[in-house]
Structure 1
Amino acid sequence: MRVDFFAYTISFFWLGTMWINLHNEWHKIRYITTSIIWTNIVLLFFSSFFPYVISFVTSYYNSSVAQGFYGVIVLAVTFCNIILGYLIEKANKDNKELQELLKIKMRWLSIDTVIKIIGLVISCTFYPPVMMISVYITLLGIVLPAQYKVAKRRKGK
């Protein structure tokens, strides 16, 4: 498999899954604050780096610098999602359905973040491709199964 196709595919589905998560959350939000909007803008800013960082990673796949930069962007987007979740939860305390959805998301996001941080550390110190592999593992092992559970719950209601 070509490295550039692998990198593009992982990032495309990672961003697509993020979009689905945001859609599911924003669909249920009743109150939006200025901090929620600005955090979303910062999330969009970091997400806009993906075309550049993917190009960089595919040109220098075995480089700690390239994979480290990719990891920093991935983690910046992940941290923005975590902050966004807390801000949305705070602004919508009376929305029980949204609170339940956010609680589930925060649970799997904490595991997701730990795996990505470990991937970044290993990537910068020992084996660079681990960063991209960690994103792949979180996508297939945590994010997509969590999305399936949320979708299944929504159908059951």
Structure 2
Amino acid sequence: MTKERLTAFFDAVLAIIMTILVLELEKPSEVSLKGFLALKENFFAYTLSFFWLGILWINHHNEWIGVKISEKTLWGTIMTLFFSSFFPYSTAIVSKNFHNTTAQLFYGIIIIGVTVSVIITTNTLIEANKTDKNILEKLKRMNLYLKYDLIIKIVAFLISAFFYPPAIMIALLFLTLIFVFLAILKKI
């Protein structure tokens, strides 16, 4: 399979996931400011999930410029899409049960699953692009960022499990803001 075909498939599936995400938003019981404010946790979960998926898409685009892919890359990408496909479902659950430990941990498992699969995919790209020093350097830098990102998510997952359920979403918000800031500064 060509890189272009895999990228088109990734883009299409992610677009569908992001569309389903908005369809899962709960409707207000009354159409008023009070009705919408009552859904603040729903909108927070939706917004966070949408932008995080957007970052996944941007990173995928930036990471794949000029790279060669391998058969292993196909499977890493499929694994990423598998976990990503749970976003509408997990976001709907966590938005209706925001302070529920199990709901937050389920959301966290999806986040961590996507991150691990992206690290695996990036490792396949590193392996397939060993001879291109510029691409290799870019991929290794992204992989290092992803590993720090994963550590923060795991710590937040544990905090969610034992102390404060929304910790995983707060950590994800923090990491999303850091990514946007670093992207603006052209550090990623």
Q: TM-score, normalised by structure 2?
A: 0.76
- Residue in 2 aligned with 1:86? 123
The partner residue of 1:9 within 47, 52, 77 is 47
Query: How far apart are 1:83 and its partner, in Å?
Result: 0.8
Kindly name which structure, 1 or 2, has the bigger radius of gyration based on alpha carbons. Answer: 2
Q: Secondary structure at the match of 1:19?
A: helix
The partner residue of 1:20 within 54, 58, 81 is 58
Q: Secondary structure at the match of 2:65?
A: helix
Q: Does 2:165 match 1:133?
A: no
**Contact 1:46-1:76 at 8 Å conserved across structures:** yes
**Contact 1:46-1:73 at 8 Å conserved across structures:** yes
Q: Secondary structure at the match of 1:27?
A: coil
The partner residue of 1:33 within 64, 70, 73 is 70
Q: Does 2:91 match 1:63?
A: no
C-alpha separation in 1, matches of 2:100 and 2:143: 31
Percent identity of paired positions between Structure 1 and Structure 2: 42
Residue identity matched to 2:182: A
C-alpha separation in 2, matches of 1:33 and 1:56: 36
C-alpha RMSD of matched pairs (Å) = 1.5
**Following superposition of structure 1 onto structure 2, how do residues 103-114 of structure 1 map, counting pairs within 5 Å?**
103-114=140-151
Query: How far apart are 1:148 and its partner, in Å?
Result: 3.0
Q: Secondary structure at the match of 1:107?
A: helix
- Point out the structure with the larger helix share: 1
- How many residue pairs get aligned? The number is 150
Residue identity matched to 2:58: I
C-alpha separation in 1, matches of 2:81 and 2:127: 21
**Contact 1:108-1:146 at 8 Å conserved across structures:** no
Q: Does 2:146 match 1:116?
A: no
- Aligned in 2, Cα 1:146/1:28: closer, same or farther, shift over 3 Å? farther
Residue deviations 1:20-72 (CA, integer Å, cap 9, x gap): 1111122221x211110011011001000000000000111001100000000
**Contact 1:71-1:120 at 8 Å conserved across structures:** yes
